[in-house]
Amino acid sequence: MNSTVAAATKPSNTNNKIKHSTGENVGTFVIYLIVALFALICVLPFVLVIIVSFSSEKSITINGYSFWPSEWSAAAYKMLFLPSSSVPQSYLVTTIATVVGTVVASFITFGAGYTLANRSCRYRDGLSLYFYITMVFSAGLVPWYMMCKTLNCYDNIWALIVPSLLFNPFNMFLVRNFVRGIPAELNESAKIDGAGEVKIAFGIYFPLCMPVLATIALFYAIGYWNNYFNAVMLVNDEKYYSLQMLLFKIQSQITALSKLTAGATVNVNPPKESFKMATSVITMGPIIILYPFLQKYFVKGMVVGAVKG
């Protein structure tokens, strides 16, 4: 008897299923189709870059950039990774500068943002205005260069790290606004329990700010990875060349060689166009690999950090 009543009162899974109308199904299909086409449009340029990087220079000269080259070649990658090539060394230098610079700059930015969001900081509004002014006005290149020389950031690995180490005011304001969105009662209760400012900042607020920290870390990582200006201005020793700087020099040499041999009878055909695409592949690879790990934090950090406050 009890089983009969239970069976009668148990809701049917069939009745609980939501039935979609034909119009809703068509609309969902159209939305998915548009998203898929948009994703395909975004991916195709990257696929083309990879294919062209493995195309022979002759094929590119005759057919242009094509998804179906008439001749395949790995000459561009062979040139990049010759036994005597400096690309692996530059890769290592750029990786060290990116990792160290990103980690330290993120900590400095968090410290500044937390301080300016803390109500116990008496001059936080004046300091915020001071940092905002630096977003509008710049002291210029000469003072920047003299400061780098004074700090001994010249012809060494620190020339690629320290000049870009001071936090970006935009990133700092993102962190400040995010911290302001955290209830102030959390700070007050921690102080009642006897926690100091350092403990509160890095023991309580730091884990809660992981979305915005991941966002600014991605910004810093991209900036360090793509930075060639510091190498141009502050580095003469080739062993400290950043990857972007070295590839730019190699590309300039290939272009000069192509112009010199344009009217010569000697059959010299350096992989100029395929080399450009190969350099794009090896430089954008690490950032593309890094982004999926930070994607779940990125959107939340941008939205909350930009809106709150």
**Can you tell me the distance from the alpha carbon of 193 to that of 189, in angstroms, rounded to the nearest whole number?**
6
Query: Among 108-122, 157-171, 273-287, which is the least confidently predicted range?
Result: 273-287
Number of domains into which the chain is organized: 2
Residue 58 belongs to some domain of the structure? yes
Q: Which two tokens stand for residue 40?
A: 């395909």
Of 54, 75, 96, the one marking the end of a domain is 75
- Residues 140, 68 share a domain: no
Residue 212 belongs to some domain of the structure? yes
Q: Using pLDDT thresholds of 50, 70 and 90, give the confidence band for residue 260.
A: low
Residue 31 belongs to some domain of the structure? yes
Q: Which two tokens stand for residue 161?
A: 């790290």
Q: Which two tokens stand for residue 71?
A: 């001749």
User: Is 309's pLDDT higher than 80?
Assistant: no
- Residues 41, 100 share a domain: no
The secondary structure of residue 86, as a DSSP letter, is S
Of 45, 75, 105, the one marking the end of a domain is 75
Q: Using pLDDT thresholds of 50, 70 and 90, give the confidence band for residue 16.
A: very low
> Taking the CA of residue 66 as centre, how many other CA atoms within 13 Å lie in the half-sphere pointing to its CB?
15
- Residues 278, 150 share a domain: yes
Residue 3 belongs to some domain of the structure? no
Amino acid at 163: P
User: Is 301's pLDDT higher than 50?
Assistant: no
Q: Using pLDDT thresholds of 50, 70 and 90, give the confidence band for residue 215.
A: confident
- Residues 119, 251 share a domain: yes
What are the backbone dihedrals phi and psi of residue 270, each rounded to the nearest 5 degrees, phi first?
A: -65, 145
If you average pLDDT over residues 63-89, what whole number do you get?
Answer: 80
User: Is 1's pLDDT higher than 70?
Assistant: no
Residue 7 belongs to some domain of the structure? no
Q: Using pLDDT thresholds of 50, 70 and 90, give the confidence band for residue 274.
A: confident
- Residues 115, 71 share a domain: no
What are the backbone dihedrals phi and psi of residue 55, each rounded to the nearest 5 degrees, phi first?
A: -95, 150
Domain containing 297 equals: 78-307
- Residues 134, 64 share a domain: no
User: Is 95's pLDDT higher than 80?
Assistant: yes
Of 55, 75, 95, the one marking the end of a domain is 75
User: Is 75's pLDDT higher than 50?
Assistant: yes
Highest mean pLDDT among 154-163, 176-185, 198-207: 154-163
- Residues 90, 24 share a domain: no
Residue 6 belongs to some domain of the structure? no
Q: Which two tokens stand for residue 228?
A: 């060639």
Compute the Cα dihedral for 66, 72, 77, 78 and give only its sign.
negative
User: Is 293's pLDDT higher than 70?
Assistant: no
Residues whose CB falls within 8 Å of the CB of residue 143, separated by 6 or more in sequence, listed in order: none
Cβ–Cβ under 8 Å, residues 53 and 274: yes
Neighbours of 285 (CB within 10 A): 10
| Greater pLDDT, 228 or 303 | 228
Q: Which two tokens stand for residue 309?
A: 């406050």
Q: Which two tokens stand for residue 104?
A: 């330290």
Could you give the percent of the chain with pLDDT greater than 90? Answer: 4
Q: Using pLDDT thresholds of 50, 70 and 90, give the confidence band for residue 14.
A: very low
**Can you tell me the distance from the alpha carbon of 99 to that of 60, in angstroms, rounded to the nearest whole number?**
37
Burial class (CB in 10 A: 0-12, 13-18, 19+), 36: exposed
- Residues 83, 44 share a domain: no
- Residues 294, 266 share a domain: yes
- Residues 127, 218 share a domain: yes
Residue 2 belongs to some domain of the structure? no
The secondary structure of residue 203, as a DSSP letter, is I
Neighbours of 178 (CB within 10 A): 31
Cβ–Cβ under 8 Å, residues 177 and 267: no
Reported pTM? 0.74
Whichever domain contains 162, its CATH number is: 1.10.3720.10
- Residues 178, 52 share a domain: no
User: Is 13's pLDDT higher than 60?
Assistant: no
Q: Using pLDDT thresholds of 50, 70 and 90, give the confidence band for residue 5.
A: very low
Residue 241 belongs to some domain of the structure? yes
- Residues 65, 85 share a domain: no
Could you give the percent of the chain with pLDDT greater than 70? Answer: 81
